[in-house]
């Protein structure tokens, strides 16, 4: 194909011009992964929660637990965990695990980790903020720690998937060293050199999960076409977060698409709580329902996303407490959407503005398709793109200047998102963007329950209510696409976990 030839030509130029050709010797025993973003301080396991930004962090640090494809927490560094009351959790670590400097993993590392999360710096970091309910940790024995929470939390095991453990003595020495930290963890690799945009790792000699490929290079390439050009040039082996439109090119290069489970559900949030939006049509429940009938999710997921995503019927993933298995996604029905608008007092249609955080041409095409679908229902949607940093700041400051904005739900964190999309968020610095008072009592009861069955039942009631009074336009359950070049021999269990990659299992051809 002409496009393939152009891609190969550009790739050759790209590898020379940007110095991404690692040389034949390095290529033989290194797995080279291009990612759109590397967490600015990869060696700080308390920064950043999600892939692909954390791929370098996962190379060096292990979490206490991982969440499998059924949405269930599974042992990783922690062998087991239990709590009689949801407030004091006994966490038992695996025996015989060592950090990359040879120090043993013990309960003291858990205690030191909690101490850091309670420091001024730790409280401001992503993981410390997410685990703010931890009051203290106590070493009961070398391999057993008691984690005391401020209040009971039935879903604490899910949150432990965000908790990665550094070697405590090294961490204390280097806590102020910033990017110069070495990243001493229990992961399959350890850092041996590089820069903020390209990091080189070697096998951790003490790894409990010995990697099948001796070396790992993680390269930051923000531009999606550039990551694909790297595969075409042979300068990288894997390109994280590619688009469905890249599949044909990848297969022409004898590569393959790897589907990666994400914890996110993409939707368009209604902004009902901002003072500036009190006259917006989205204040009306029938308008909110109309917007959900006005989007052809099957076309978006089946055509634009090539079947690699599923239409979403709710903001929770299968397996998460509160997920309702028999809830169907809204069908595309522009006639019903028009009828609902007329019932709401808008027989001639409405005009709305969407603030959209768009990464790559594929996402831009999807939101243009959403706007086109809505036009058939009498809804004129103006899309105003914004940088992701601007979108994040807007959400957390409550500074909205639109009727809707692109958003994600953390589909396994059944209670965390309610800080923002319910009345719970209207205190302190948390700014709610949607509020349904009818669900608030159910959410509070779920927060205070320590019985998982009870939590599940309460949150299922919330989910069904959100189907009647949606907090946004449900779009799709996210599955991410990564590209594997022809040198990738095997990547078992690649899609077996949510937001976690077993990097030690990926092998390349010699």
Instruction: List the one residue out of 216, 157, 160, 158 whose CA is nearest residue 187.
Output: 216
Tokens, residue 84: 């009689």
Residues 278 and 409 placed together within one structural domain of the fold = yes
Residues 397 and 306 placed together within one structural domain of the fold = yes
- The count of domains in the chain is 3
Residues 270 and 318 placed together within one structural domain of the fold = yes
Asked if residue 9 has pLDDT above 70, the reply is: no
pLDDT digits (tens, 9 = 90+) for 453-486: 999 999 999 999 999 999 999 999 878 889 999 9
Mark residue 319 as left, alpha or beta (left: phi above 0; alpha: psi -120 to 50; beta: remaining). Answer: left
Higher pLDDT, 175 or 230: 230
Highest mean pLDDT among 194-198, 242-246, 293-297: 293-297
Residue 239 lies in a domain: yes
Pairwise CA distance, residues 318 & 320, whole Å: 6
CATH value at residue 435: 3.10.105.10
Residue 121: domain span: 62-172
Q: What is the pLDDT of residue 413?
A: 79
Q: Are 207 and 187 in contact (CB under 8 A)?
A: yes
Instruction: List the one residue out of 149, 185, 154 whose CA is nearest residue 167.
Output: 185
Asked if residue 30 has pLDDT above 90, the reply is: yes
The secondary structure of residue 477, as a DSSP letter, is E
Q: What is the pLDDT of residue 11?
A: 35
Residues 365 and 400 placed together within one structural domain of the fold = yes
Asked if residue 95 has pLDDT above 80, the reply is: yes
pTM value is: 0.80
Residue 243 lies in a domain: yes
Q: Average of pLDDT values for 359-379? A: 88
pLDDT band for 177, please (50, 70, 90 cuts): low
Q: Tell me the backbone φ, ψ of residue 236, rounded to 5 degrees.
A: -135, 155
Q: Average of pLDDT values for 122-128? A: 90
Higher pLDDT, 11 or 79: 79
Higher pLDDT, 216 or 130: 216
Q: Average of pLDDT values for 156-166? A: 94
Residue ending a domain, choose from 115, 140, 172: 172
Residue 229 lies in a domain: yes
Residue 345 lies in a domain: yes
Tell me the pLDDT of the chain averaged across its residues.
Answer: 88
User: Sheet harboring 134-141: ordered strands across?
Assistant: 78-82, 88-93, 144-149, 134-141
Residue 271 lies in a domain: yes
Higher pLDDT, 323 or 183: 323
Highest mean pLDDT among 329-343, 356-370, 375-389: 329-343
Asked if residue 10 has pLDDT above 50, the reply is: no
Instruction: List the one residue out of 47, 137, 124 whose CA is nearest residue 89.
Output: 137
Asked if residue 19 has pLDDT above 50, the reply is: no
pLDDT band for 27, please (50, 70, 90 cuts): low
Residue 181 lies in a domain: no
pLDDT digits (tens, 9 = 90+) for 412-427: 877 877 776 777 755 4
Residue 179 lies in a domain: no
pLDDT digits (tens, 9 = 90+) for 226-270: 999 999 999 999 999 998 889 899 999 999 999 998 888 999 999
Q: What is the pLDDT of residue 195?
A: 82
Q: What is the pLDDT of residue 181?
A: 59
Residue 165 lies in a domain: yes
Q: What is the pLDDT of residue 491?
A: 96
Higher pLDDT, 81 or 53: 81
Asked if residue 106 has pLDDT above 70, the reply is: yes
Distance from the Cα of residue 43 to its chain's centroid: 19
Higher pLDDT, 352 or 181: 352
pLDDT band for 175, please (50, 70, 90 cuts): low
Q: What is the pLDDT of residue 208?
A: 98
Higher pLDDT, 219 or 418: 219
CATH value at residue 206: 3.40.190.10
Highest mean pLDDT among 20-34, 95-109, 266-280, 474-488: 95-109
Q: Average of pLDDT values for 139-149? A: 98
Residues 403 and 344 placed together within one structural domain of the fold = yes
pLDDT band for 1, please (50, 70, 90 cuts): very low
Residues 242 and 136 placed together within one structural domain of the fold = no
- Tokens 């509020």 belong to 435
- Biggest CA-to-CA distance, the chain: 71
Q: DSSP letters of 166-193?
A: --HHHHHHHTT-GGG-----SSSEEEEE
Number of other residues whose CB lies within 10 A of the CB of residue 508? 24
Higher pLDDT, 170 or 13: 170
């Amino acid at each position: 194909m002409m496009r393939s030839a152009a891609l190969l030509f550009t790739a050759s130029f790209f590898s020379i011009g940007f110095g991404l050709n690692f040389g034949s010797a390095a290529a033989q025993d290194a797995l080279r992964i291009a990612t759109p973003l590397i967490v600015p301080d990869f060696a700080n396991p308390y920064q950043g929660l999600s892939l692909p930004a954390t791929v370098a962090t996962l190379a060096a640090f292990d979490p206490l637990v991982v969440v499998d494809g059924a949405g269930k927490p599974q042992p990783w560094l922690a062998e087991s965990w239990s709590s009689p009351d949801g407030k004091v959790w006994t966490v038992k670590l695996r025996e015989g695990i060592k950090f990359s400097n040879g120090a043993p993993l013990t309960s003291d590392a858990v205690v030191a980790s909690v101490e850091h999360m309670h420091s001024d710096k730790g409280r401001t970091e992503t993981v410390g903020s997410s685990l703010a309910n931890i009051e203290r940790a106590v070493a009961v024995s070398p391999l057993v720690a008691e984690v005391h929470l401020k209040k009971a939390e039935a879903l604490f095991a899910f949150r432990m998937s965000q908790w990665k453990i550094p070697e405590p003595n090294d961490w204390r020495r280097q806590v102020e060293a910033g990017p110069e930290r070495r990243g001493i963890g229990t992961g399959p690799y350890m850092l041996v050199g590089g820069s903020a945009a390209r990091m080189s790792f070697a096998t951790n000699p003490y790894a409990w999960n010995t990697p099948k490929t001796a070396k790992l290079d993680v390269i930051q390439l923000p531009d999606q076409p550039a990551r694909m050009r790297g595969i075409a040039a042979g300068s990288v082996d894997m390109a994280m977060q590619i688009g469905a439109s890249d599949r044909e090119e990848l297969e022409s290069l004898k590569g393959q698409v790897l589907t990666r489970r994400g914890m996110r559900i993409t939707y368009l949030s209604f902004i009902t709580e901002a003072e500036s939006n009190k006259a917006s049509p989205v204040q009306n429940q029938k308008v909110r329902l109309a917007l959900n009938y006005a989007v052809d999710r099957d076309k978006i997921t089946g055509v634009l996303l090539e079947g690699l995503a599923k239409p979403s019927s709710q903001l929770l993933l299968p397996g998460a407490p509160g997920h309702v298995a028999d809830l169907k996604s809204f069908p595309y029905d522009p006639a019903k959407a028009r009828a609902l608008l007329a019932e709401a007092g808008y027989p001639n249609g409405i005009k709305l503005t969407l603030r959209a955080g768009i990464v790559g041409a594929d996402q831009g095409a999807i939101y243009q398709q959403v706007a086109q679908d809505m036009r058939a229902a009498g809804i004129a949607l103006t899309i105003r793109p914004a940088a992701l940093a601007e979108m994040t700041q807007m959400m957390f400051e409550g500074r909205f200047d639109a009727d809707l904005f692109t958003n994600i739900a953390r589909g396994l964190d059944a209670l965390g998102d309610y800080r923002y999309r319910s009345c719970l968020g209207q205190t302190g610095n948390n700014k709610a963007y949607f509020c349904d008072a009818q669900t608030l009592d159910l959410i509070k009861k779920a927060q205070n329950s320590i019985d998982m069955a009870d939590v599940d039942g309460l949150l299922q009631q919330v989910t069904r209510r959100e189907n009647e009074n949606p907090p946004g336009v449900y779009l799709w359950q996210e599955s991410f696409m990564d590209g594997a070049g022809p040198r990738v021999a095997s990547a078992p269990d690649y899609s077996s976990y949510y937001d976690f990659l077993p990097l030690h299992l990926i092998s390349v051809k010699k």
